[in-house]
Structure 1
C-alpha cells in the first residue's frame, strides 16, 4: 500500500515536471498565444491518437451526456491554455505560473458542488497558503502595467483549469486517461481553428521544433499522466500537490533563459512548496 502511494505520488510529480516546461515554451515561442495553443492541441491530439491506436485504447464515448461533458471540459481547457499563455507573455514565467496556481483554492471550494465530498478545511487552509504565496509575488498591483494584467489572466486561467479538472474527474473511472485527453485536445483544436485565418502564422516554420516539444512532452505525456492521477487522488489533492509546478517552471526558466526570480518569488514560491509537502504527506493517510 505504501509503495503504491509512493509510486502514484512520484508519477504525479513527474507529470507536473513535464507540464512545467509550458512556462518557458509559452513565454518564448514567437507566435500569438492562441496560435501556439492550436498547434499544441492539434499536434498533441495526433500524438495521443497514435498512442491510443498502439495500445488499442477504446475511443468510443458511451453516451451523449458524456459527449457533452467532454465538450465542456475541452472548452475549459482551451480557455485555460489561451489565458495562461497570455499571462506568461504579459508578465514572466514566475508570475504567470504562480498566479495560475491559485487554482487549488478554487478547486477546494468548487469540488463539493461536483461530487459528494464535503468541503475539507485542510484543503481550504492549504489553498489559502498558496494564495498568500501568490500575493507576496506582487509588490505593486496596478491595472496600468502588463504584469498586473498577466496576473489577472493567470487567475482566470486558474478558474478555467479548476473547472476542467472537476468536469474531467467523473470520467476517469469509465474512460482511459489518454482517450479523455485525446477528445479534449480535439475540442481545443476545433474551437481555435479560426485563429489560423485571423492571426499571423508566418513564423510557424521556425518555431516548429518548440511546438512539437510542447505538444508531445508538455501536453500528450504530461497532461495525460495528470488525468490518470485522478484515479488515485481527489482533484483537490492532485491540484495542491501539483502546485510544485511553478517551482519547477522557475528553475527551468533560470537554466534555459536565465530568468532570475526576485526575492518575493522565493518567499511566495516557498509557501507554495510548503503546501505541496504538507498535502503529499496528508494524502497518504
Structure 2
C-alpha cells in the first residue's frame, strides 16, 4: 500500500513538473499562439480518443451535456492561446507567477457555481495574491501586456476548472475531456478561418516546432490528463492542491536554467511570487481544515 502511495505521489509530482514544462515549450515553439494551440488540441484529441476507446473508458453514448462540454472546450482553447501569447509577450517566469492568480478567481466563481457563501478567508488569501501581483506589476513594467494576458489566462483557467468541477460529478471525465479537446480544436479552426490563416501555412512549421508540438500534445496534454485522473483516484484533494501549487516553482526554476539571464527577474518579482505561493499554501491548509470540520459535524 505504501509503495502504491509513493508511486502515485511520484506520478503527481511528475505531472505538475510537466505542467511547469509547458511554459518552457511555449517559449521554445516559434509558431504563433493560435496555430500552436490548434495543433495541441488536435493531437490531444486523437491521443485521448485512441486511449479511451482502446481501454473502454467510454461505455455509453455521448452525454446530453455535449454542448456545455463544447463551450468549455472553447474556453480552454482561449485560455491556452492567452497563456502562450503571454509567454511570447513577456517570459515564462512572469506568466507562471501571474497564472497563480487563478486561485483568486476561483474563490469568487466557486460560490456562484456551487451556490455557497463566499468564504472570507479565501477572499483574504485572494487579497494576498493581489498584493503579490501588484508587486510583480510595479517592478516588471516592461511586461505589462504579458501580465494582462497571463491574468486573462488565469481567469479563463479558473472558469473552466470550476465548471468542470460540476460536470465531473455527473459524467465520465474521459468523455468530458475528449469532447472539450475536439470542440476547442473546432473553435480555433473557425478562428483561423476568420483570420485568414486556414491555409497550407498551417503545415509549414519549423522542423523543431513539430517535435515540441508533438510533445506538447501527447506528453503535456493527453498523457498528463490521463495520469492526473488516475492519481486523483488515490490521493486526497488536499495533497493534490498543495502539489499543484508547485507548478510555477518548477516552471520558473526550469526557465532560469534553460534560458538563463532572460528569465532573471527583479527582487520585487520574487517577493511577489513568494507572497502568491504563500497565499496558495495557506488557502490549501484552510480548505483542509474546513473539510475536516464539516465531516466532524456530519458525524
Instruction: Quickly name the TM-score band, shorter chain normalised.
Output: 0.7 to 0.9
8 A contact 2:52–2:174 mirrored in 1: yes
Deviation of 1:215 after TM superposition, in Å, equals 1.1
Structure 2 residue aligned with 1:268:
272
Relative to structure 1, the CA distance from residue 59 to residue 80 in structure 2 (aligned partners, 3 Å threshold; closer, same or farther) is farther
Give secondary structure in 1 for the equivalent of 2:45: helix
Greater mean alpha carbon deviation, residues 120-129 or residues 238-247: 238-247
Q: Which runs of 5+ in 1 are unaligned?
A: none
Structure 2 residue aligned with 1:278:
282
Q: Deviations over 1:214-259 (max 9, x none)?
A: 112221133455567787649xx97776343222110111222223
Distance between the aligned counterparts of 1:134 and 1:29, measured in 2? Answer: 27
8 A contact 2:102–2:158 mirrored in 1: yes
Deviation of 1:126 after TM superposition, in Å, equals 2.0
Q: From 212, 215, 218, give the equivalent of 2:217.
A: 215
What is the aligned length? 278
Relative to structure 1, the CA distance from residue 272 to residue 13 in structure 2 (aligned partners, 3 Å threshold; closer, same or farther) is farther
1:159-174 superposed matches below 5 A: 159-174=155-170
Distance between the aligned counterparts of 2:114 and 2:5, measured in 1? Answer: 23
CA RMSD of aligned residues (A): 3.1
Give secondary structure in 1 for the equivalent of 2:111: helix
Relative to structure 1, the CA distance from residue 90 to residue 60 in structure 2 (aligned partners, 3 Å threshold; closer, same or farther) is farther
Distance between the aligned counterparts of 1:238 and 1:108, measured in 2? Answer: 17
1:136-155 superposed matches below 5 A: 136-140=135-139, 145=142, 147-155=143-151
Relative to structure 1, the CA distance from residue 82 to residue 60 in structure 2 (aligned partners, 3 Å threshold; closer, same or farther) is farther
Distance between the aligned counterparts of 2:29 and 2:231, measured in 1? Answer: 29
Give secondary structure in 2 for the equivalent of 1:197: coil
8 A contact 2:80–2:153 mirrored in 1: yes
Give secondary structure in 2 for the equivalent of 1:30: coil
Structure 2 residue aligned with 1:122:
121
Relative to structure 1, the CA distance from residue 283 to residue 13 in structure 2 (aligned partners, 3 Å threshold; closer, same or farther) is farther
8 A contact 2:140–2:266 mirrored in 1: no
Q: Which runs of 5+ in 2 are unaligned?
A: 290-299
Q: Deviations over 1:174-203 (max 9, x none)?
A: 333232222111111111124351695422
2:34 aligned with 1:34: yes
Distance between the aligned counterparts of 2:130 and 2:243, measured in 1? Answer: 15
Distance between the aligned counterparts of 2:60 and 2:32, measured in 1? Answer: 34
Q: Deviations over 1:140-184 (max 9, x none)?
A: 576xx5x10111111111111111111111121333323222211
Distance between the aligned counterparts of 2:247 and 2:200, measured in 1? Answer: 30
Q: Deviations over 1:107-137 (max 9, x none)?
A: 1011111113322222222222222222211
8 A contact 1:127–1:240 mirrored in 2: no
Q: TM-score, normalised by structure 1?
A: 0.84
Distance between the aligned counterparts of 1:228 and 1:265, measured in 2? Answer: 35
Q: TM-score, normalised by structure 2?
A: 0.80
Relative to structure 1, the CA distance from residue 134 to residue 60 in structure 2 (aligned partners, 3 Å threshold; closer, same or farther) is farther
Greater mean alpha carbon deviation, residues 174-183 or residues 246-255: 174-183
Give secondary structure in 1 for the equivalent of 2:30: coil
8 A contact 2:245–2:281 mirrored in 1: no
Larger radius of gyration: 2
